[in-house]
Structure 1
């Protein structure tokens, strides 16, 4: 599940010739995800069948969607990297305007790319913005492809289940081949993930929780062969959040025993948990077990203050009550804060046995809504 990453889209769109933004920039995250006026876009109201590869592609009837990949990679000499790449589509209007110019795209696109170099204690992140017009950005289902300029994830027509991820900027580059070890899994109620109590404040949501990742990382003129595991999240929706919701803490954990866990804690503005916080625990063979809010205990063990003065949780104790297991989750690097139009923390973590401190797995954590001033200044979530 990705974050409120539409940060800066509307503000940027207003400066792009040929783009019409029917929604003025408002109050940061609230301007899109809290918006009551759906402007003709569909809402996620009921369970619907998900089908592949069709649902890997775009869903223009919904205002927002994202393709989100994170992962942990190993290089020579135990060199370790974490990475994130996200492609975000935001609909400016529902349906094409008759006679519209090829330059007047109906969707805005944003992409985020970040690399964590654990040994070098370096986190680097980039952002790109574009419109879909004349092929600058877009997505298609068959053969699968999503792109913004030369950042892309795509599948060759003769090998549709093998995805190739490429992104490069400055002295940082990533080129990976992603092969699924497990089939897609449906989050929430058969793919319908409710985020707040109001009907329609939900997304259609599936994950590919275990992708074998092999390729290369280039950093500061040096290229390393790497392999590891990646995680894909896909969501599409038109509205998600209630006015009393401040943000979410999202966990994707890949355990060495083959199990995978997703859990999101929806935070209320008063500091409490929303009862619609939920997740799932997936067995090594792929079967999933839904986790309701009351099935999980999440305790913050430490905090970290960013250079901008925002306080983020920095370590957690997570207990899955149905299995009786407790894990400690710790970042591999304190500063993995994305600082562009939006500020949020997104980083690689280790999963430890809470008693023995033995490493049990790896994962990624995403923390949104802790830097509200930065988000609101951006003009979009």
Structure 2
């Protein structure tokens, strides 16, 4: 995967999907294929921007809208589409806003801006005996209406792509996604009845917030709409979840790698796990998980309650780095045992560290009953030293 889409999902991984951000010593050398745009974004001084107060409660619909005073903001929509013939298409739509400096632009030119906005769409589709990955992207400056955000209604857009969000206690949450395109495009209506789950409620690693960032998760969104491929449009339905985070989502990266797993399980459950491990291969990895139950409640699990280990690896022909891409995950307290397998192995993303990000299929047993699911895995390479 190359170009803007690779950069976009590399940036998403740096943000840790907004769930966790680690401040540590910077890496001495970027990975092969490191993008100059990402380097420029990493060099922006984070102290010049507003930092969310993580103890403040989230308010809706206010916090669906853009937070224009912060350094960076992410909307990340992940799920699966199903067409009328029963074919499944895992997808990811992401929109990111990055401030280049705080405050409003000095309007010496109508092109003047203080922010850039990127958006990417990734779709996995069956293609005979293999899975094909299709991508599309948009990149614009926040000027001249080319990209931007507004509060009423809560809406963000990049070129002709847009995401609109609304919610109330009476009607739940509603989203509208328009990502037009003849080669690849989506037009979806999404709705959910579970209230947004604040970052602190997940309790991953026992943290109640982050180092200058805030966010929430919208699980279990039902969707319907249209999928366009090669100028052919078909109706689809399915399920998805949304992550929305804002604040200091980009910072110095250090010697600690992050593995991130987000799964939708049947029946209605979501499981989110993070694992910290040293990139030099020493020490014992530290996992942490949060289960979102059918009623929307959260159940948390820490390192001694979790078994998370690789069961398959893939080595990049381009960079030479090796990634754990297939996993075994077990939580004995839930009588839950899962295996995770990548739909496509070649899913290396651009970034200051070698990264892998892609869709996975899930199978296993819960309380002795077979269980299936789908999800997304994002992992650091097993070592950042020069590969053999």
Q: Same fold (TM over 0.5)?
A: yes
- Aligned equivalent of 2:294: 284
* Deviates most, 50-59 or 117-126: 117-126
- Seen in structure 2, the aligned counterparts of structure 1 residues 223 and 359 have a Cα distance that, compared at 3 Å, is farther
- Aligned equivalent of 1:139: 149
Local SS of the residue matching 1:77: coil
| Structure 2 residue 212 is the aligned partner of structure 1 residue 206 | no
- Aligned equivalent of 2:356: 345
Separation (CA, whole Å) in 2 of partners of 1:104 and 1:160 = 38
Deviations 1:120-158 (A, max 9, x none): 521012332211011211222321211111121125899
| Structure 2 residue 11 is the aligned partner of structure 1 residue 5 | yes
* Deviates most, 344-353 or 175-184: 344-353
Local SS of the residue matching 1:78: coil
2:341 to 304, 309, 330: 330
Deviations 1:34-77 (A, max 9, x none): 77942421335642211111111112232111000011111132
Gaps in structure 1 of 5+ consecutive residues: 8-25, 374-381
1:162 to 169, 174, 179: 174
| Structure 2 residue 190 is the aligned partner of structure 1 residue 178 | yes
Separation (CA, whole Å) in 2 of partners of 1:233 and 1:272 = 32
- Seen in structure 2, the aligned counterparts of structure 1 residues 46 and 161 have a Cα distance that, compared at 3 Å, is closer
* Deviates most, 109-118 or 201-210: 201-210
1:124 to 126, 130, 134: 134
Deviations 1:175-203 (A, max 9, x none): 2111114221122x247878999x96353
Separation (CA, whole Å) in 2 of partners of 1:371 and 1:128 = 32
State whether residues 72 and 81 of structure 1, in contact with CA within 8 Å, keep that contact through their aligned partners in structure 2. yes
* Deviates most, 233-242 or 352-361: 352-361
State whether residues 246 and 369 of structure 1, in contact with CA within 8 Å, keep that contact through their aligned partners in structure 2. no
State whether residues 68 and 86 of structure 1, in contact with CA within 8 Å, keep that contact through their aligned partners in structure 2. yes
State whether residues 192 and 204 of structure 1, in contact with CA within 8 Å, keep that contact through their aligned partners in structure 2. no
| Structure 2 residue 370 is the aligned partner of structure 1 residue 364 | no
- Aligned equivalent of 1:250: 260
- Aligned equivalent of 1:78: 86
State whether residues 123 and 335 of structure 1, in contact with CA within 8 Å, keep that contact through their aligned partners in structure 2. no
Separation (CA, whole Å) in 1 of partners of 2:276 and 2:167 = 39
Separation (CA, whole Å) in 2 of partners of 1:305 and 1:282 = 33
Separation (CA, whole Å) in 1 of partners of 2:126 and 2:248 = 37
State whether residues 144 and 154 of structure 1, in contact with CA within 8 Å, keep that contact through their aligned partners in structure 2. yes
* Deviates most, 85-94 or 161-170: 161-170
Deviations 1:261-300 (A, max 9, x none): 1112234332368987534111101011233344432111
State whether residues 271 and 289 of structure 2, in contact with CA within 8 Å, keep that contact through their aligned partners in structure 1. yes
Q: RMSD over aligned Cα, in angstroms? A: 3.9
State whether residues 344 and 371 of structure 1, in contact with CA within 8 Å, keep that contact through their aligned partners in structure 2. no
Alignment TM-score, normalising by the size of structure 1: 0.78
* Deviates most, 242-251 or 232-241: 242-251
- Aligned equivalent of 1:91: 99
Separation (CA, whole Å) in 2 of partners of 1:61 and 1:160 = 27
2:309 to 266, 289, 299: 299
Separation (CA, whole Å) in 1 of partners of 2:143 and 2:298 = 40
Separation (CA, whole Å) in 2 of partners of 1:195 and 1:4 = 26
1:53 to 52, 61, 66: 61
Gaps in structure 2 of 5+ consecutive residues: 1-7, 14-28
- Seen in structure 2, the aligned counterparts of structure 1 residues 272 and 204 have a Cα distance that, compared at 3 Å, is farther
Matched residues, number: 353
State whether residues 72 and 250 of structure 2, in contact with CA within 8 Å, keep that contact through their aligned partners in structure 1. no
Separation (CA, whole Å) in 2 of partners of 1:33 and 1:263 = 27
* Deviates most, 222-231 or 236-245: 236-245
